[in-house]
Structure 1
Amino acid sequence: MADVTRLMVRLDGPEGATLTVKGRVAWTLDQLLQAGEAGCTPIERPAPRWSDYVFKLRKAGFSVETIDENHGGSYGGSHGRYVLRSAVEVIEEVRR
């Protein structure tokens, strides 16, 4: 996993709330910010509990869309593509 350990961000514009996320939730937010409109999936950016990290971001007030996608292969099925829909300004980041 990447080296981000904490992000302080402003959510939804200059008058929005200032929030701090830490650990793997910060990593997830960083991945979503890097992915932009394309979004990202656990297949592209492996991590153990994507759905939990996204759940925690939503609970904190972030808007994250889940787009269901099918995939083939030996273990075909479906997965979620997560796209950050909130406007987020990074104020401070802490990396290892």
Structure 2
Amino acid sequence: MKRHDGSVAIARGREAQTLAHLIEAGPAGDTSLGFSRAKWARRTSGYVFDLRKLGFDIQTHMEQVEVDTRVARYVLAVDFDVLESSGVESLGGAS
């Protein structure tokens, strides 16, 4: 992603996998429960935090799933071009 200062944000590792999953999920995004299907996705909120520090606009919406349970739904808020994917799988293997 190209930042306002002209630099390019590069996501690697788990953050890249998280970003790939959010791109795949589209405007509906996915919940932290959806991410848990991936064996690597143990710290979804941490990966999203790291992506935000890189400049990616990711929104968080809280959803009620049971009487006393809420989960976060993460939505990538802007479109951007992926310049290189290096074979990252969204819910696949480890980085």
Same fold (TM over 0.5): yes
Greater share of helix residues, 1 or 2?
2
Do 1:11 and 1:86's aligned partners in 2 also have CA atoms closer than 8 Å? no
The runs of at least 4 aligned residues of structure 1 exceeding 6 Å deviation read none
Residue from 35, 38, 46 that aligns with 1:52: 46
- Residue 61 in 1 paired to residue 55 in 2? yes
Residue from 21, 32, 40 that aligns with 1:42: 32
- Map of 2:9 onto structure 1: 19
| C-alpha separation in 2, matches of 1:42 and 1:95 | 23
Change (3 A) 1:11 1:83: farther
Do 1:39 and 1:81's aligned partners in 2 also have CA atoms closer than 8 Å? yes
Aligned residues with identical type, % of pairs: 37
RMSD of aligned alpha carbons: 2.2
TM-score after normalising by structure 2: 0.77
Q: Which runs of 5+ in 1 are unaligned?
A: 1-9
Aligned residues: 84
Deviation at 1:16, TM superposition (A): 5.6
